[in-house]
Every structure is written in C-alpha cells, then in structure tokens.
Amino acid sequence: MASGSDRNPIIIGGLPSQVPDFDPEETQEWLDSLDAAVDERGRERARYLMLRLIERAREKRVAVPEMRSTDYVNTIPTRAEPFFPGNEEIERKILNATRWNAAVMVSRAQRPGIGVGGHIATFASSASLYDVGFNHFFRGKDEGDGGDQVFFQGHASPGIYARAFLLDRLSEDNLDGFRQEKSKAPHGLSSYPHPRLMPDFWEFPTVSMGLGPIGAIYQARMNRYMHAREIADTSKSHVWAFLGDGEMDEPESLGQLTIAAREGLDNLTFVVNCNLQRLDGPVRGNGKVIQELESVFRGAGWNVIKLIWDRTWDPLLAQDRDGILVNRMNTTPDGQFQTYATESGAYIRDHFFGDDQRLRAMVEGMTDDQILHLGRGGHDHKKIYAAFKAAVEHKGQPTVILAKTVKGWTLGPNFEGRNATHQMKKLTVDDLKGFRDRLHLPISDKELESGAPPYYHPGRDSEEIQYMHDRRLGLGGYVPTRVVRSKPLALPDDKTYASVKKGSGQQSIATTMAFVRLLKDLMRDKELGKRFVLIAPDEYRTFGMDSFFPSAKIYNPLGQQYESVDRELLLAYKESPTGQMLHDGISEAGCTASLIAAGSAYATHGEPLIPVYVFYSMFGFQRTGDQFWQMADQLARGFVLGATAGRTTLTGEGLQHADGHSQLLASTNPGCVAYDPAFGFEIAHIVQDGLRRMYGPDSEDVFYYLTVYNEPIRHPAEPANVDAEGIIKGVYRFSEGTSGSIPAQIMASGVAVPWAVEAQKILAEEWNVKADVWSATSWNELRREAVACEEYNLLHPEEEQRVPYVTRKLAGAQGPFVAVSDWMRAVPDQIARWVPGTYQSLGADGFGFADTRGAARRFFHIDAQSIVVGVLTELAREGKVDRSVLKQAIDRYQLLDVSAADPGAAGGDA
C-alpha cells in the first residue's frame, strides 16, 4: 500500500482530484481539529463527529459524497420516533391469533392422507411487518380508487389467509382447503398469491422470486403514468413490496432499481425481511446482507431505512459513549447472529458481550433471560410504525426498509433460526404447547393432544376483531382484495380496419408495418386511442414506430430538457410528461413488467389500458418467459408483438436473433392466444377479435401474441368472400389450385405463405399437381380447440362426439398435406393428429445463422422448391407419382446446393 506521502491527498472517497485549495490555512485548521478529536476522544468519537458534519452538510444542501453504508443500527433514532397511534396490547393479541392460525393451517395441511405441506417460518419472521401495515398503512379500494398495491411475499401467504379468517373473509373450511384447490373446491386456497386461482382475493402473483420487486417498481411507475395522462387519479396509491433478503440475489430484484430513483417514485416502498436465511442456510454467513443491500440501494439512489434492533436495545445503545457496542454490531457476521437466535442468554453474554470488559459491564445488571430477549427491530410494532411512516412521508425517492427478523420467530427452539426451518411443515404436540404458551392463547392441552390442532378465533364480538374491522374501515376496506370495476370499451367499427384490408397494392411491406399502420388508425379513435400504451425496448425505429414520436410522444415525467439532435426531422424524438409511449431502453424484463402493469390496470385501477409491446421475437418468450407466465397469472390483457420473427427472416443478424421457436413456447402458456399471420387483412381480423375478447362486453382474461416479420411482401386485398371465421379459428383456404390433375394440400403460416403460393404455381406448371394453399394463422389455437374436443369426448362417451375444427375444415381436401413455416417442425406438428390425411411438415429445425434469406431457406429446405419436393415425396408415398421424379426434382432445383438458391431480398436489417 502506498504511504501517505505517495497518495494524492485530494482524492478521498471519490472527491474530485481537480479542486484547487483556495485557503490552505483554513483547510489545515479543519484537519488539525480532526486530529485533535482523534487524539483526545478516540476514533469512534471522531467518526461520530464526521457523520454529524455530513448530515448537517446535506441539510445545508452542500454536495458531499454519498456513504455506501452506515452503522449497523436503526436509521431512525429513538428520539425521532413518532407517536404510535395503535393499541399495542390489542394488536399483540391479534398477531398472536394470526400466528397460531397460520402455523396450524400449514400443520393440518401436512396431516396423513393429505401431505401438501406449506411454509411456516417466513410469515413467522415477517408477521409484525404485515400487521403494522394492515392496521395502519395499507389502503383498500372502498373509496373507489385503486387503493394501495401490496406485493406480498409468496411464502408468507398462510399468514395473510389466517388474518382473513379472523375477519370472516375466509372460513375454517377455506383454511382446511389450503393447497387443495380442486379436491376442496369451492373452499380450496392456492399455495401462494395467485389472482387467476383466487381472482377476488389476490392482486399480484409474487412467488416466482425476483418478479415481485420488478413488478412493484413498474406498477409504481404505471401509477404515475396513468395519473400524468389523466386516465386515473392514482395520487393516493402507494406500492408496497414485501421481499426476502435471499430473494434479493435474483437479478430481477435489483436490476431495475435505478428507474425507480431516476423517476422519483416516492410512491414505492420495498420492505425486505432480513431474517438472514435463504431456504436452507444463511444469506451472507460471513458477511452482512443488510449492509450490502444498503450499499446497493443507496448507490441506486434510494432512501434507505434500516430497522435492526427493537426497543430493548435502546438503553444499551444510549450508554455506548465509546461506540464499542456499535462496533461489535458492525463486525459480527450474519452467521453468528443466526447462531445467537438459537442459543441461550448465557451464551450471548459470553460470546457477544463477554470478551470486552466494557461490553460485559453494560449487561451486568441484566438476567440471562433479558439478554436472550434483546430483540430484532422487525418484531417491534413501534419501530416498524416509525419506519413505515417515514417511508410514506419521504419525498423524491423510493424507499427500502431493511428489517431484521428471526426466521421462525415464536415457533419455538426447533424452528427459530434453524437452517432447516423453511422446509419444516408440521409442529409436534410439544411444539404446539410451547407455541401456545408463548402466544398466551386459551387452548387446552387436551385440544392439542386429541387430533388436529384447532384454529383459534377470539369471537366476532371481541375487542380484537372489532379493532381489526375498525382499522380496515378507516383505511378504505380489506386487503388483499381484487376488484374489477372497469366497463367494456366502445370498440371501433369495421371502417377502422378498412385501410389495412385493402392490401399494399404495388408496394411491398412487412407484416410489422401492416400492424403499425393498423395501430395508427386505431389510435385515432377518440374513445379508444388514449388507452393504448406503446412499449418497446429501445427498438421503436427498428419497427417503423418512430412515426408515433411527434404525436404520441415518449413518456418522461421530467419532460424533455434538451434539444433533440434530430429536432429538424419530421419524426424527431419527443419526450413529454404526458407521453403515451414507454421507451425503457434495453430491458425486456422492464418492458414486460410495464406490459403487465398496464394490462391489469382494468382491475388495479378500474381503467382498462391496451398495452402493445413490440420486441425482437427472440427476446420475448425465450428471454422473459417467466414474466409472460406472470402476465397470465395476473389476468393481464394486451397485445404482444414478436417482430422480426422466423428462423430465416432476420438472417443477417445470425443465431442469437433467429427465432424459430417462440410460437412453440407461447403454446405452453394457457393465457396466451398466439397467431402467425401472413397478410394485413389477417392481422386486421385478429386484432379486431382480440379487442372484442379482451375489452368487449364478455371480456376474457387472455393476451394476444402475434408474430410479425421484417420481410417486405405485397399484401393482397381482403378477398370478397373472406373466411373470417377460419382466420380467427386458425386455418382457411387462401388459394385454391386452378390447374393440374393430381390433388395435394399445402398448409403454411406467416412469411411462408408466399413460398407456398410459389410452390403451388411450380407444382401446377411442372408436375401436373393441383395444390390448394391454406393459411394456418394459428397452429396453437387449432391444437387447443382439438384438445378441448377430445377432453369432452373422453368424459361424455354417450353424447354426440365433437370433431375438431381443423378436421372439419380440411375434411373435403384431397391428397396429402404438407405443412411449412419459418418455425421448427414441432410448431405445425401440433395438429398432425387431427389432419384428415397423410401429413408431413417442413421446418427450420436447429440453430440459425447469418446468410441471405434464400440460402437459409434452402439450407433448412423450406423454400418454394423444397415445398415442391416435399409434396412430390408424399404423392410418391401414396403411389400417385413415380418415385423417379423425386431425384429429378432435387437435381432440377439443386436442393443440395445452398448457393444455388435465389438470395431474395436483403435479410440483414430489421
């Protein structure tokens, strides 16, 4: 390490190195004063003085470097704690009843013959945090607005159910139906917060760890967005996210902190339950997770409130003139604190206080039992109230509360702080007796020894229950509650879709641009237009959506405080506090979180929004598939556009952009209605149907996924006798064969339909084959409907058997069926079982690569010439053409030579 004389004396903790010293004598006086404080009063006193100077400097708005972390004590000193407005004795009784019922519910769910288990320890550690929120902070929806949005930690759900039981929102039958959603229907309860399974109770699905934090950030931002655009008054809504310290290791938990700080989301509070344990071990055994998280959040621009010690430590800290106790707190690792939670008071006296005479002297007058009960701040209602109140009153920044607790708190020595506590699901009789005694509940030994432990309810007329109801009445109703107040939207008539249905004439455009043209027309609608929320991850220009910049503008709560470099252009970049477009930079996870928040606004705030999220299709279901599942869980609605779709359409970009499988991934999501349209008029019908299904009178909890392409083609006008039903259901005959005598059928989707039409022409002119071309707008929907038919038939053998739509639609078609798409074969193979004839598929299986479109399609054997050979092969198999023609065709079209293919239009740009 360099000596003091070798180091630049100006660079200290990030201070600028170019600042000149205009008064060296004054500087030396300050330095001498610090030296004197160190020499005369010690380093700890000098440190305290420096911290107070920094605090005062901030009060005077003097710019000083931000500290990454502070001492391991409560941020709010005792002298600054506000008056606690609640009745602590009553709230303790309420919490004890809640704790008991939560643990008993899980224990009963583990009874013989059921064994579905549950989690006890997480709620046990965080119960006080929730209780203070319920009694004093969480706003309900009874005032007609969205209230507060609370993202509950998934593993704490038993406690939320237990509280709802005390309030008569759930019955004993409900509690006994925990994790038995079907076998105990209609009384079953979902394992975790799940709006799709309990749509009147839960608002946000949070147990997929990491998605709660990012969802809460973008929910808070969506609240501000809706308020700025005067869609809903969200000024009173506060977003709370209850999280675990182990959960903060998930990338999604911390990855978007800066947007909350950048936009000043003081309507957002994270409450991190720091019980120092992951599922089966310490979070930072050798470190201090609270200090680490404080550094992270401070660095990201958040207000940090540490809630570490309960009131029993206040007298000891008041004696700590030399800072020796604080120093011990600072230097003790988390793993040791976890051990203290499992040991005796004598052990704590010897190991925490014992090796320093000054520390030991602080607790000489305390019994071992008193030392044992020196508690953690996350279990102290007054300390929690002070932290929550400070959080909601803080302005200009989001707040994180880092609350220290004990995992399994109050559950007894077999649970508290143990590494295995997360997996423990059942309390023994002795555990139950000790638990009952600690909670002071009037339950007899006989009741605990004679079968399943009973639930406890103090009585509907008891002061505890009346207190609970009164508190919720004063806060605007019960939480959690999901209410759908929105009304159906007035949807545009057919005229709005007319322009896109006319086709593109002599102009070649991609299906992406066809969708954008339709979107422009929809956004002109006076009623519907303002409800569209455009979302893209830094790719608006890529998709031709920069045309929206001048009119819709990009949302930025600070507006545009600079002159745009392209301000002279017609399509200049425009930011506005009331902008309609969300331009979140290169963050698909952030964009998807915005999508979910917007798509569920119809329930959260009673005002439907129509999100349109456009992205490179490879970066959707593959990169953020977990969030699309979250979207379905949250019953969110909207349009998801997988642009630049297909394995061979964006080939210049290469492997990482070559999507040949997102349609297959989309098929696994029950809430997703997926289409692969070929032409503008198909898009028009699909979007019109989507608006009807999601926002019409009989709205459904689905979202639409459309894969659109960047390859320019000529879009035909809508046929006069268009088969609109077929477009919506998934397949219709686009082009009937007009010449040739040997019948065959070609099914294609998306960008492959023009290849199929070209193959149809070649087959007729060169091989005497009369092929019909079918546009399969949705392989997924065809399969989904067919599976539903089979399930009905399985359970209703005596009823008339249902025939899948695809089977009925293709019933009169003659010859073999050859399916082709720019997807892997598994996508069209989904319907093979129900096609009434010989069926074969061609697809782009394997990895993509960078080359021309033509070369890539020849390589995968999905181009027009390959389709021709595919049809001939199936005809030969049926004996309708001689097999010798297959080799002739392969040689004629040079199918084995990739370089012989027509390269086609350039394929490198989006």
Q: Say what the pLDDT of residue 194 is.
A: 94
Rounded to whole angstroms, the Cα distance separating 340 from 346 reads 10
The CA angle 679-680-685, to the nearest 5 degrees, is 105
Quote the tokens at residue 150: 């609370």
Instruction: For tokens 């550094």, name the residue.
Output: 295
Beta bridge pairs of residue 401:
271, 305
Q: Please say if the pLDDT value at position 371 is more than 80.
A: yes
Q: Please say if the pLDDT value at position 879 is more than 50.
A: yes
pTM beyond cutoff 0.85:
yes
Quote the tokens at residue 770: 């009369």
Q: What is the mean pLDDT of residues 723-749?
A: 97
| Antiparallel, parallel or unpaired: β 769-775 and 732-735 | antiparallel
Q: How confident is the model at residue 208 (pLDDT cuts 50, 70, 90)?
A: confident
Q: Say what the pLDDT of residue 278 is.
A: 83
Rounded to whole angstroms, the Cα distance separating 550 from 707 reads 27
Instruction: For tokens 């003097």, name the residue.
Output: 62
Q: What is the mean pLDDT of residues 192-208?
A: 93
Q: Say what the pLDDT of residue 909 is.
A: 46
Instruction: From 33, 34, 8, select the one nearest 21 (Cα to Cα).
Output: 8
Rounded to whole angstroms, the Cα distance separating 399 from 216 reads 12
Q: What is the mean pLDDT of residues 887-905?
A: 91
pLDDT, tens digit (0-9, with 9 covering 90-100), for 796-839? 999 999 999 999 999 999 999 999 999 999 999 999 999 999 99
Distances, alpha carbon 360 to alpha carbons 324, 345, 351, in Å: 11, 13, 10
Rounded to whole angstroms, the Cα distance separating 569 from 547 reads 11
- The DSSP line for 461-481 is TSHHHHHHHHHHHHTTS-SS-
Q: How confident is the model at residue 57 (pLDDT cuts 50, 70, 90)?
A: confident
Q: Say what the pLDDT of residue 419 is.
A: 62
Q: Say what the pLDDT of residue 906 is.
A: 61
Taking a C-beta distance cutoff of 8 angstroms, is the pair 241, 271 a contact?
A: yes
Instruction: For tokens 């972390």, name the residue.
Output: 69
Q: Please say if the pLDDT value at position 66 is more than 70.
A: no
Q: Say what the pLDDT of residue 322 is.
A: 82
Instruction: For tokens 């949250």, name the residue.
Output: 634
Q: Please say if the pLDDT value at position 1 is more than 70.
A: no
- The DSSP line for 238-268 is -EEEEEETTGGGSHHHHTTHHHHHHTT-TTE
Taking a C-beta distance cutoff of 8 angstroms, is the pair 755, 857 a contact?
A: yes
Quote the tokens at residue 692: 């009807």
Instruction: For tokens 């809706």, name the residue.
Output: 226
Rounded to whole angstroms, the Cα distance separating 592 from 613 reads 8
Side-chain half-sphere CA neighbours of 166 within 13 A: 30
Distances, alpha carbon 296 to alpha carbons 256, 301, 497, in Å: 12, 9, 50
Q: What count of residues does the chain have?
A: 910
Residue 282 sits at φ, ψ, to 5 deg, of -70, 150
Instruction: From 220, 274, 221, 267, select the one nearest 247 (Cα to Cα).
Output: 274
* Sheet with strand 268-274: strands edge to edge: 149-151, 239-244, 268-274, 399-404, 303-307
Taking a C-beta distance cutoff of 8 angstroms, is the pair 717, 502 a contact?
A: yes
Of all residues in the chain, the percent with pLDDT exceeding 70 is 96
Taking a C-beta distance cutoff of 8 angstroms, is the pair 592, 628 a contact?
A: yes
Please state, rounded to an integer, the average pLDDT across all residues of the chain.
Answer: 92
Three-class SS state of 401: strand
Q: Say what the pLDDT of residue 835 is.
A: 98
Q: Which residues contact 755 (CB under 8 A, 6 or more apart)?
A: 748, 820, 857, 862, 863, 864, 867
Taking a C-beta distance cutoff of 8 angstroms, is the pair 686, 706 a contact?
A: yes
> Among 12-16, 395-399, 599-603, 606-610, which stretch is predicted with the lowest mean pLDDT?
12-16
Three-class SS state of 559: coil
Q: What is the mean pLDDT of residues 565-573?
A: 82
Buried b (16+ CB within 10 A) or exposed e, 635-667: bbbbbbbbbbbbbbbbbbbeeebbbbbbbbbbb
Three-class SS state of 773: strand
Quote the tokens at residue 694: 């999601």
Q: What is the mean pLDDT of residues 755-761?
A: 98
Q: Please say if the pLDDT value at position 2 is more than 50.
A: no
Q: Say what the pLDDT of residue 14 is.
A: 42
* Sheet with strand 610-616: strands edge to edge: 575-576, 554-555, 581-583, 532-536, 610-616, 639-643, 703-707, 672-675
Instruction: For tokens 């969802």, name the residue.
Output: 215
Q: Please say if the pLDDT value at position 910 is more than 80.
A: no
Distances, alpha carbon 619 to alpha carbons 286, 623, 657, in Å: 37, 5, 8
